[in-house]
């Protein structure tokens, strides 16, 4: 190669690098600056990854905690709304700045384990106790506060890996857990979890997105949403949010959403012991879809945008948490302070404290087995207002 050619090749390489950097730095449809997510945490690289389908739906995820940062979904008029809470820069996600679970891929163990203690094959394990004396969401060093490795990323798919050492937060076994996010052409976000272990252990993963289907967390409260649940029973909790062990029928309780009801009808009915104990809704419902992922588990609808979210899962339970602890002190995207009931979490799961309830669906994973869990958040629109107009 002569020197002219060399200079040309160098110029072309620099120009290409420049173009690809510039492309990465373009703001997302949700208005995020990908540069604000580029960092190193505990020596590992973090960034923002974007999924997009042909209909224009966009999901942005960071590998820090496997967190969904934004989800742009079309409303009835075709306007795109960001339907999840979160932060607009990576630093706000770090536990030293905010102990939030916004959008996170929770592991190893979503929800609570009583006193952080359980026995497996005669061996007792003690986990960190970070919530009323219990272990919540795997403790203060749960996977939602760690960096997942990016295994694969393309326009519609992101695959992450957590390689968790034996003894991580007190849990036995080296666990390799994959979380895959896939955006389908028909506006479904599919989340699949897969894990293996080299020693008997327990595992229960979930996604902790806070949904605000009006795309308006400043003013829209999830109490205004309409919810229908394919669930005939729930697990009542004591004053520390710990299941008592009882499985209670929902009929004639504020937990009955079998034929659909506004979330807010009983959300402040503190005369009810369970609403009081949960400080609103913060309970596990037992799903009645027989772990069939093709049958809806929960439907959530907001008249303001006419967006309908249908949750499908092959897990036996779902935690519905109505953002009762949001108190306006945390400032999220677009400078909005998140107040009580600004978001609702739909966390598919094994029942809380399952390691201490052998009578419930088992969270135990043994060497040679593969833990598999699948959840779909499917978005569509439903013109209830239009239908009402037509009825007149
Ligand atoms: C729990 C809540 C908790 C929230 C945030 C939910 O899954 O049930 O009690 O406050 O997560 O971590």
Residue 275 resides in a domain: yes
Q: Write out pLDDT tens, residues 265-274.
A: 999 999 999 9
For residue 11, name the pLDDT band (cuts at 50, 70, 90): low
Q: Write out pLDDT tens, residues 272-307.
A: 999 999 999 999 999 999 999 999 999 999 999 999
Residue 320 resides in a domain: yes
Is 208 an annotated catalytic residue? yes
The residue whose two tokens read 């966009």 is: 58
Q: What is the Å distance from ligand 1's center to 232 Cα?
A: 22
pLDDT at 100 exceeding the cut of 50: yes
* Strand segments (E) across 184-256: 188-197, 201-202, 206-208, 210-211, 226-229, 231-235, 248-249
Q: What is the Å distance from ligand 1's center to 4 Cα?
A: 63
Q: Write out pLDDT tens, residues 130-166.
A: 999 999 999 999 999 999 999 999 999 999 999 999 9
Tokens of 129: 């106790």
pTM of structure: 0.93
Tokens of 322: 């109505």
CATH number at residue 105: 2.70.98.10
Residue 22 resides in a domain: no
Q: Which atom of ligand 1 is nearest to 241's Cα?
A: 9
Q: Write out pLDDT tens, residues 218-252.
A: 999 999 999 999 999 999 999 999 999 999 999 99
- Residue closest via CA to ligand 1's atom 6 equals 321
Pick from 100, 278, 321 the residue to mutate for probing ligand 1's pocket: most ligand atoms within 8 Å of its CB: 321
Q: N- to C-terminal Cα distance for the chain? A: 79
For residue 90, name the pLDDT band (cuts at 50, 70, 90): very high
Is 218 an annotated catalytic residue? no
Residue 142 resides in a domain: yes
Q: Write out pLDDT tens, residues 311-336.
A: 999 999 999 999 999 999 999 999 99
Q: Which domain holds residue 299?
A: 34-391
Task: Please give the share of the chain, as a percent, with pLDDT higher than 90.
Answer: 91
Annotated active-site residue in 58, 134, 137, 208? 208
Residue 4 resides in a domain: no
**Rg from Cα positions in the chain:** 22
Residue 113 resides in a domain: yes
Q: Structurally, how many domains does the chain consist of? A: 1
Q: Write out pLDDT tens, residues 38-80.
A: 999 999 999 999 999 999 999 999 999 999 999 999 999 999 9
DSSP state of 356: G
Average pLDDT of the residues of the chain: 94
Greater confidence (61 vs 388) lies with 61
Q: Which atom of ligand 1 is nearest to 352's Cα?
A: 8
Residue 15 resides in a domain: no
Longest dimension (CA), the chain: 85
β-pair type (80-82, 149-154): unpaired
pLDDT in the model for residue 384: 80
Distance CA 175, CA 64 (A): 18
Residue 344 resides in a domain: yes
- Ligand 1, residues at Cβ distance < 6 Å: 101, 111, 137, 241, 282, 319, 321, 325, 345, 347
Distance CA 317, CA 280 (A): 18
């Amino acid at each position: 190669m002569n020197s002219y050619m060399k200079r040309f090749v160098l110029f072309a390489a620099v120009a290409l690098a420049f173009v690809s950097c510039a492309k990465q730095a373009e703001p997302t449809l949700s208005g995020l600056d990908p540069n604000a997510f580029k960092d190193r945490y505990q020596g590992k690289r973090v960034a923002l990854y974007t999924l997009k389908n042909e209909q224009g739906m966009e999901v942005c995820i960071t590998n820090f905690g496997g967190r969904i940062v934004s989800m742009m979904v079309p409303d009835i008029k075709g306007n795109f709304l960001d339907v999840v809470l979160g932060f607009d820069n990576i630093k706000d996600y770090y536990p030293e700045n905010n102990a939030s679970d916004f959008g996170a891929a929770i592991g190893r163990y979503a929800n609570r384990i009583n006193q952080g203690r359980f026995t497996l094959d005669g061996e007792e394990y003690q986990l960190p106790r970070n919530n009323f004396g219990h272990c919540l969401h795997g403790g203060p060093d749960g996977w939602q506060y760690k960096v997942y490795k990016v295994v694969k990323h393309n326009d519609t798919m992101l695959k992450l890996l957590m390689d968790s050492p034996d003894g991580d937060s007190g849990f036995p076994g080296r666990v390799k857990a994959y979380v895959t996010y896939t955006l389908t052409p028909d506006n479904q976000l599919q989340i699949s979890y897969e894990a293996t272990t080299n020693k008997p252990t327990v595992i229960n993963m979930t996604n902790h997105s806070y949904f605000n289907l009006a795309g308006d967390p400043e003013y829209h409260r999830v109490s205004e949403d309409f919810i229908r649940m394919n669930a005939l029973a729930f697990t009542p909790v004591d004053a520390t949010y710990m299941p008592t062990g009882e499985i209670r029928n929902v009929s004639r309780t504020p937990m009955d959403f079998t034929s659909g009801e506004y979330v807010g009808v009983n959300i402040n009915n503190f005369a009810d012991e369970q609403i009081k104990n949960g400080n609103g809704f913060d309970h596990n419902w037992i799903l009645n879809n027989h772990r069939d992922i093709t049958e809806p588990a929960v439907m959530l609808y907001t008249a303001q945008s006419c967006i309908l979210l249908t949750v499908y899962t092959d897990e036996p339970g779902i935690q519905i948490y109505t953002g009762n602890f949001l108190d306006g002190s945390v400032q999220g995207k677009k400078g909005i302070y998140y107040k009580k009931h600004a978001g609702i979490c739909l966390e598919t799961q094994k029942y809380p404290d399952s390691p201490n309830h052998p009578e419930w669906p088992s969270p135990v994973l043994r060497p040679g087995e593969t833990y598999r869990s699948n959840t779909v958040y499917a978005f569509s629109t439903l013109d209830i207002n239009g239908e009402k107009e037509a009825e007149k």
